[in-house]
Structure 1
Amino acid sequence: MKKLLTLLSLVFLLISCGKEKQKNENVLYLYGWADYIPTKIYEDFEKETGIKVVEDIYSSNEEMFAKIKAGGTGYDILTPSTDYAEILMNDGMLEKLDKSKLPSLKNIDPMVLEKLQYFDKNNEYAFPFAMGATAIAVNTKYVKNFPRDFTIYDNSEYKGKMTLLDDMREVMTSALGTLGYPQTTTDEANIAEAANLVKGWKKNIAKFDSESFGKGFASEDFWVVQCYPDNVLNELTEEQLKTTEFIIPEKGGTAYIDSFVIPKSAPNKEAAYKFLDFIQRPENYKLVADHLRIPSINVPARELMATKPIYSVQDLEKTVILKDIKNTLDIQNKYWQQILID
């Protein structure tokens, strides 16, 4: 009963917090990822518009979705990854964008817009913010003449010196892609084949790891890690960067597009439109791309960037975006659990 009361209290708090946010029309409430948008963007936006951005942070798409579903209204902008933008749209929770209020939409690379069109046919709900890839980091001091795809995990020469992410969606999607199957396949034989491929990789890895791979790579405990590049870059010295290469596999490579979406319940939609248009102006978006060290999805901003991305926009073209696989999620999870215990 105590747990039930705690849960009910949490739901009431979420709803109450949402209602409280509606009181100030000069405040924009954004719910997003930590350290994702440079502080200067918020400061410059407030100087120009008089609207202060208040940022709440979530650590996973699942956390964000649970809060919104529980009644956490009052947010003007959310920043979901593609699969959760799809879920929110299909659940009827998103505002259809008025593109006349978003002139900076023209600055976004058509390739990025096209990758969202599998669920958002006319780009009417998800306004792209950033695109990046899940990569394989390789320490070239120890690993020589390696393949630029997931077959690197077949090499027993590096046994115990490699890791894969502890993430079913990432690993299974990459295995399916390596075999030439789509992540949305409903053929259980394809999924079983992909699971067997991962079992072969598992023989050569030290562990599945989604938390410490950056530190492990920097300390040279691991020489090959499937990774989110920022988590590795933040741990490396300038000297180590010289012997680090990031692979974006053409087969089995995965990428993400995080987009801004406006909930139907947003209390300050006009402010949300102003912020979305503001951040995709080239002079503003270059701050984002430099901060994240990823390719700029804003074409004019590429000429303004002060840093060189660790991979190119072209590297992202053949990657697949993780999609909502609700029809086969249970089947993939069944095989993933077998992988973990074998």
Structure 2
Amino acid sequence: MMKKYLVTFALSAMVLAACGKKEEPPAPAAAPVAVASAPAPEPEEEKVVNIYNWADYIPEGMAAAFEAETGIKVNYDTFETNEALHAKLVAGNSGYDIVVPGSVFAKPQLEGGLLQPLNKDKIPNLANLDPAIMATLSKADPDNKFLVPWAWGFTTVGINKTKVTKALGNMPMPENAWDLVFKPEYTAKLKSCGIAYLDSPTEIIPVALHYIGKDAYSNNPEDYKAATEMLAKVRKDVRLFSATMIDDIAGGKACVAIGWSGDINIAAVRAKENGSKDEIESLLPSTGALIFFDTIAITKDAKHPNNAFKFIDFYLRAENAARMANEMNYPTANKAALDKIKPEIAGNKTIFVESDYFSKMIPPSSFTNEAREAMATAYNGFKKGK
């Protein structure tokens, strides 16, 4: 009976409590918790990377070492001039993932949408690069978004000292090495052993402009006219317009040349390997040489960009950058590699130039498309002797 009473009391209390309580709206349903979705997996790329680079510009076995480590096949083609590479990119569907344009061409290429930004998270070895050189390169590539240095060097005069001394006879070497290729008094004597110019308007016209006191990277067609008027005076003495400068110097086709510093030093090594006792050297003109950067870039329509990032990161390892400098005779922008470079390379002042001469060098710039066309017209007229 007591148990029944207690149950009844409890039920009455519950009813009274319910009657005295203010009615409240039902609580809103809890908002669904947002769950971060996992990023979509990147599509699997074919184990291939297609590279388009300058001739004689990669250490022997480096591509094979990358293939062995990653299982990614390297298809490696070469070109001889910036103009050839530029035409391929402008035409579109080049088929290449990595290209190596000179910075003079790279700036308009990236501005024209022909190249794609780098995914720096996939290239940790970018940290090995010299900040000072990257700051210089930023003039062509603001914030270093698109370009990585492959190597750098300068356009200058190279000579076979043995043959030049003989051809000049009693005439002393000029203070300014540019006189050897631009001053008729010297070219008239040196034509007997061969004068060679790089076969490229964007290499020859800028150094000619510099020689006559103009802006080497002028976009003014009137300046090109002045440069070609100077060049016309020595046209009859020029033997070669060369796309194979290393072989032409090493093989004795030219005793003096306008060429790239590294190529001239490679020619010196190659000549010795071929048994020549002639002394070939790259010179440092008193008024300065034209510095250049050859840069690694990824094409806008690259089909294997992730493989390209892997190759770039591999190339930027300190030991690989040191191999490039040691074997190719071009300076590297890789600061982490410097202590691995052979003393005879690191101490060669035509490879790693001293700071006082570096300050004389003309930094790279670029040309408008209109200026480049006008320059090509002026150069071709000079080359044909018109």
1:158 partnered with 2:189: yes
Which residue number in structure 1 is paired with residue 320 of structure 2?
A: 284
1:96 partnered with 2:124: no
State how far apart, in whole Å, the 2-side matches of 1:86 and 1:102 are: 21
1:194 partnered with 2:222: no
Q: TM-score, normalised by structure 2?
A: 0.70
State how far apart, in whole Å, the 2-side matches of 1:215 and 1:173 are: 24
Q: Deviations over 1:233-288 (max 9, x none)?
A: 36512675663221143546234322111223223322222221221111121122
| RMSD over aligned Cα atoms | 3.2
Q: In the alignment, which of 311, 331, 340 is matched to residue 374 of structure 2?
A: 331
State how far apart, in whole Å, the 1-side matches of 2:51 and 2:127 are: 23
Higher alpha-carbon deviation: 331-340 or 283-292: 331-340
Which residue number in structure 1 is paired with residue 241 of structure 2?
A: 209
Return closer, same or farther for 1:58/1:191 CA change in 2, 3 Å cut-off.
closer
Which residue number in structure 1 is paired with residue 385 of structure 2?
A: 341
Q: Which amino acid aligns with 1:290?
A: N
Q: In the alignment, which of 152, 163, 177 is matched to residue 149 of structure 1?
A: 177
Q: Which amino acid aligns with 1:329?
A: R
Q: How does 1:27-176 map to 2 (within 5 A)?
A: 27-72=48-93, 74-141=95-162, 142-143=164-165, 144-153=172-181, 154=183, 155-156=185-186, 158-161=189-192, 162-165=194-197, 166-176=199-209
State how far apart, in whole Å, the 2-side matches of 1:265 and 1:27 are: 15
Q: TM-score, normalised by structure 1?
A: 0.78
State how far apart, in whole Å, the 1-side matches of 2:243 and 2:80 are: 13
Return closer, same or farther for 1:23/1:175 CA change in 2, 3 Å cut-off.
same
Q: How does 1:250-269 map to 2 (within 5 A)?
A: 251=287, 253-269=289-305
State how far apart, in whole Å, the 1-side matches of 2:249 and 2:89 are: 36
Partner-residue secondary structure (3-state), 2:52: strand
State how far apart, in whole Å, the 2-side matches of 1:235 and 1:186 are: 38
Partner-residue secondary structure (3-state), 2:232: helix
Q: In the alignment, which of 256, 260, 275 is matched to residue 224 of structure 1?
A: 256
Return closer, same or farther for 1:245/1:26 CA change in 2, 3 Å cut-off.
closer
Identity within the alignment, %: 24
The answer to whether the 8 Å contact 2:217/2:365 transfers is no
The answer to whether the 8 Å contact 2:209/2:224 transfers is yes
Q: Deviations over 1:109-130 (max 9, x none)?
A: 3443234323311111011111
Larger Rg: 2
The answer to whether the 8 Å contact 2:245/2:259 transfers is yes
1:294 partnered with 2:330: yes
Which residue number in structure 2 is paired with residue 14 of structure 1?
A: none
State how far apart, in whole Å, the 1-side matches of 2:289 and 2:328 are: 20
Return closer, same or farther for 1:90/1:179 CA change in 2, 3 Å cut-off.
same
Q: Deviations over 1:171-229 (max 9, x none)?
A: 211111123322332444433332222223335x2434214665664565643222342
Return closer, same or farther for 1:67/1:334 CA change in 2, 3 Å cut-off.
closer
State how far apart, in whole Å, the 1-side matches of 2:73 and 2:252 are: 44
State how far apart, in whole Å, the 2-side matches of 1:332 and 1:68 are: 20
Partner-residue secondary structure (3-state), 2:271: coil
The answer to whether the 8 Å contact 2:128/2:336 transfers is yes
Which residue number in structure 1 is paired with residue 8 of structure 2?
A: none
Return closer, same or farther for 1:62/1:221 CA change in 2, 3 Å cut-off.
closer
- Residue ranges of structure 1 left out of the alignment (5+ in a row): 1-21
The answer to whether the 8 Å contact 1:180/1:251 transfers is no
The answer to whether the 8 Å contact 1:293/1:307 transfers is no
The answer to whether the 8 Å contact 1:135/1:247 transfers is yes
State how far apart, in whole Å, the 1-side matches of 2:283 and 2:242 are: 18
Return closer, same or farther for 1:180/1:122 CA change in 2, 3 Å cut-off.
farther
Q: In the alignment, which of 328, 332, 351 is matched to residue 312 of structure 1?
A: 351
